[in-house]
Chain A
Amino acid sequence: MFTLLFIGMGLSMVVAYVLIRRLQEKPWTQHGILEGSQDGLTSSAPKVGLWAFLGVVTSLFLVFIGAYFMRLDMSHGGIASGQMQGWAPVDEPGILWVNTIALILASIAIQLAHGFDSSGRGRIRMRRYFNAAGLMTMAFLIGQVLAWRELYATGNFGVSSPAFSFFVLLTAIHGLHLVGGLFVWSRTASRIRRGLEQAQLQEVAALRQSVSLCATYWHYLLMIWLVLFTIMLST
């Protein structure tokens, strides 16, 4: 819980640092318009919206991780009841490593899709890499479901086993975020298809931004998965 607290404090300090210069303005002494003063942060509205959303996602997973460690703590030092099972750790199935690689590849592919120029060949490559990222992500999700089945089939875990419940819950919540991402991905993918036919320059710039936002989201979810995986492996 204290870890949570310090991360929260760190985040608020960053925000404070960004804001501090703007918040020193003395509005009662200053009149008229300073050019550029009204354009919020130096990025586009969708980007700010996405980062605000990622803030919410961060908060969600931090609270989950906090709950995970508190529950773990309670199993170890908690109430001494004669039939205390404690925390029977989950033996993570090997397929999770394959899944992790798939998600890393998805992240790399989406980054490559973003990096291409707007020449004809570049656009086709952009489309290929973007589609590959989506397929890799689907492979990851299928792999996660296989991991659940494998664990369940061992028969070692009842639903009341906290380690198993947390494993399923955390992977499910993370997976749901990816499914949401895939929804945006499918819309962007069909726009890329249409955009390539029309080949308007303006259209390409808009597409590039969509791909860039998708890339940010994918990298972020990859990072969250790596954190979750590390935590689950180490406990």
Chain B
Amino acid sequence: MILSLAVFIVAFTMGGLNYVTTVLQARCRGMTLMRMPLSVWGIFVATIVGLLAFPALLVAAVMMLLDRLIGTSFFMPSLLSMGEALDTDGGSPILFQHLFWFFGHPEVYIVALPAFGLVSDVLSTHARKNIFGYRMMVWAIIAIGAMSFVVWAHHMYVSGMNPYFGFFFATTTLMIAIPTAIKVYNWVLTLWRGDIHFTLPMLWATGFIFTFVHGGLTGLFLGNVTVDLPLSDTYFVVAHFHMVMGVSPVMVLFAAIYHWFPKMTGKMPNKMIGTIHFWMTFLGTYAIYLPMHYLGILGMPRRYYSYGDTDFIPASAGSINETITIAAIFVAAGQILFFINVIYSLRKGKESGPNPWRSASLEWQTPDTPPKHGNWGEKLPEVHRWPYDYSVPGDDEDFIPQNHPIKAGETSVGD
């Protein structure tokens, strides 16, 4: 398994290099960095973060492999095994923890940043408004990407680290909440007084705002060393990270799949099945993770299948656990609807046309739907504006595609 992990990292590095170079060097005419959709920004920065973080996992994996296979002692302390002293000495599992989390925390943002980008585009399109604070959104993505490298030890508050270390990492952890909060405010302000269409993608994107705010707030609790110590390794942690990096990016994934499904296939996804899928997932995940916060504050540790007779855990905690299990099965069953929807819509879905959501960004303007190889045929498009020209005052349509030539009354950058 460790070996396959190493192969995966090498493969990711090659793919990532391709992505970074493409974004930097192969943009079409007129597509400046600041005219890229936030989706591309999110994936771009996440890829850079991934390229720099995965080596730490590789190093940890290689050293672990050597410890296991040929008996080096990178991580192995002096140990008694079956009454006999092993040959290893002086290594430390804490070193492994540092290496793992130096990768592990950026990984959280490798998952989250593309989601941040995708959801921005979905919200903007379906609220018929330009994304609020585009520049701030780009800067926030970059700031989060950079800061994700200096917060890793907040996963290790209980490892007996130097208190000043804990202080440092608590500070950086709370600081990374600033760009994140800016993004949340901007999503909400994008919706503010927008012409909101509750389409399928919009439902999921709105659901994301709820779950993400929820998970983010509990993150503020856990980022503080003193609050984290009693809550560490309890269900509170499980609830927090599932809300923030389990459920939230998945909400965005579904939003994005339903949003781009028409472009990928030429068919509309079925709205009714998708809506039932959404409510089962949204309410179901709340039924799973909301009670976990209470179990965590009660002090119930995670990773035990049975608690036996424990004084501080009342019997009612057990019945909450059963409820959670039922809710989890319910949510899992709900996901079957997604596959049914994909297959049904592919076969019998309504024809979508090239741009059913009337989206301004470039990918919706391809000559063919679904796009053929090379996307654009003979001639590459030219980009004359940013991807968020929705409801522009004085315009006949409520959106202007990115490749639409410059109009009368608009200032040109060339002038």
Bound pair: A and B? yes
Q: A38 to B74, Cβ gap below 8 A?
A: no
Given A33-B382, A162-B74, are A75 and B149 also a contact pair (CB < 8 Å)? no
Q: Mark B200-215, 1 if CB is under 8 A from A, else 0.
A: 0000000000000000
Q: A31 to B31, Cβ gap below 8 A?
A: no
CA distance A1 to B102 in the complex (A): 10
Q: A67 to B74, Cβ gap below 8 A?
A: yes
CA distance A23 to B388 in the complex (A): 17
Question: CB-CB < 8 A to B389: which residues of A?
Answer: 28
CA distance A23 to B32 in the complex (A): 10
The residues in B between 182 and 224 inclusive whose CB is less than 8 angstroms from any CB of A are none
B99 to chain A, nearest CB (A): 6
Residue A205 lies at the interface, judged by CB distance under 8 Å to chain B: no
Q: Mark B72-116, 1 if CB is under 8 A from A, else 0.
A: 111011100000010111111001001100100000000000000
User: What 8 A-B pairs are tightest by C-beta distance, nearest first?
Assistant: A27-B386, A32-B412, A60-B55, A25-B34, A33-B30, A45-B25, A40-B24, A34-B413
Given A25-B34, A67-B63, A159-B72, are A32 and B95 also a contact pair (CB < 8 Å)? no
Q: A32 to B51, Cβ gap below 8 A?
A: no
Task: Please give me the residue from chain A that is nearest to B96 by CB atom.
Answer: A67
Residue A200 lies at the interface, judged by CB distance under 8 Å to chain B: no
Interface size class of B (residues with CB under 8 A): 35 or more
Residue in A19, A22, A32 whose beta carbon sits within 8 Å of that of B413 in the complex:
A32
Q: A59 to B52, Cβ gap below 8 A?
A: yes
Residue B2 lies at the interface, judged by CB distance under 8 Å to chain A: no
Question: CB-CB < 8 A to A8: which residues of B?
Answer: 149-150
Residue in B52, B77, B99 whose beta carbon sits within 8 Å of that of A79 in the complex:
B77
CA distance A159 to B74 in the complex (A): 10
Q: A38 to B95, Cβ gap below 8 A?
A: no
CA distance A37 to B134 in the complex (A): 19
CA distance A19 to B24 in the complex (A): 11
CA distance A169 to B67 in the complex (A): 12
Q: A160 to B71, Cβ gap below 8 A?
A: yes
Q: Mark A39-59, 1 if CB is under 8 A from B, else 0.
A: 111001100110011011001
Task: Please give me the residue from chain A that is nearest to B73 by CB atom.
Answer: A160
The residue among A16, A35, A64 with the most chain B CB atoms within 10 A of its own CB is: A64
Given A29-B411, A30-B411, A49-B17, are A87 and B63 also a contact pair (CB < 8 Å)? no
Residue in B34, B87, B146, B414 whose beta carbon sits within 8 Å of that of A32 in the complex:
B414
CA distance A64 to B89 in the complex (A): 19
Given A56-B55, A71-B91, are A23 and B25 also a contact pair (CB < 8 Å)? no
Q: A31 to B384, Cβ gap below 8 A?
A: yes
Residue B410 lies at the interface, judged by CB distance under 8 Å to chain A: yes
Q: Add 7 more A-B contacts to A26-B135, A70-B98, A165-B72 (CB < 8 A).
A: A16-B146, A25-B34, A31-B413, A32-B412, A33-B384, A45-B25, A63-B99
CA distance A40 to B29 in the complex (A): 11
Question: CB-CB < 8 A to A79: which residues of B?
Answer: 77-78, 90, 92
Question: CB-CB < 8 A to A87: which residues of B?
Answer: 90
CA distance A29 to B412 in the complex (A): 9
CA distance A152 to B392 in the complex (A): 74
Q: A32 to B406, Cβ gap below 8 A?
A: yes
Residue B66 lies at the interface, judged by CB distance under 8 Å to chain A: yes
Question: CB-CB < 8 A to B386: which residues of A?
Answer: 27-28
A49 to chain B, nearest CB (A): 4
Question: CB-CB < 8 A to A30: which residues of B?
Answer: 411-413
Residue A78 lies at the interface, judged by CB distance under 8 Å to chain B: yes
Q: B31 to A38, Cβ gap below 8 A?
A: yes
Residue A190 lies at the interface, judged by CB distance under 8 Å to chain B: no
CA distance A170 to B144 in the complex (A): 32
The residue among B58, B59, B85, B88 with the most chain A CB atoms within 10 A of its own CB is: B59
Residue A226 lies at the interface, judged by CB distance under 8 Å to chain B: no
Residue B332 lies at the interface, judged by CB distance under 8 Å to chain A: no
Residue B62 lies at the interface, judged by CB distance under 8 Å to chain A: yes
Task: Please give me the residue from chain B that is nearest to A53 by CB atom.
Answer: B17
Given A29-B411, A158-B87, are A83 and B58 also a contact pair (CB < 8 Å)? no
A66 to chain B, nearest CB (A): 8
Residue B297 lies at the interface, judged by CB distance under 8 Å to chain A: no
Residue B56 lies at the interface, judged by CB distance under 8 Å to chain A: yes
CA distance A28 to B95 in the complex (A): 48
Question: CB-CB < 8 A to B13: which residues of A?
Answer: 53, 56
Q: B28 to A22, Cβ gap below 8 A?
A: no
The residues in A between 134 and 175 inclusive whose CB is less than 8 angstroms from any CB of B are 158-160, 162, 165, 169, 173
- The 26 sampled A-B contact pairs (Cβ below 8 Å) are A1-B98, A5-B149, A24-B135, A25-B34, A27-B32, A28-B388, A31-B385, A31-B412, A34-B32, A37-B30, A38-B32, A38-B383, A53-B13, A55-B51, A56-B13, A56-B17, A59-B51, A63-B55, A70-B92, A74-B91, A84-B90, A85-B89, A159-B70, A160-B72, A160-B88, A169-B62
B331 to chain A, nearest CB (A): 38
B137 to chain A, nearest CB (A): 11
Q: B78 to A81, Cβ gap below 8 A?
A: yes
Residue A12 lies at the interface, judged by CB distance under 8 Å to chain B: yes
CA distance A84 to B88 in the complex (A): 10
Residue in A34, A40, A165 whose beta carbon sits within 8 Å of that of B25 in the complex:
A40
Q: A31 to B411, Cβ gap below 8 A?
A: yes
Question: CB-CB < 8 A to B149: which residues of A?
Answer: 5, 8
CA distance A158 to B135 in the complex (A): 57
Q: Mark B102-141, 1 if CB is under 8 A from A, else 0.
A: 1000000000000000000000000000100011001100
Question: CB-CB < 8 A to B32: which residues of A?
Answer: 22, 25, 27, 34, 37-38
Question: CB-CB < 8 A to A84: which residues of B?
Answer: 78, 89-90
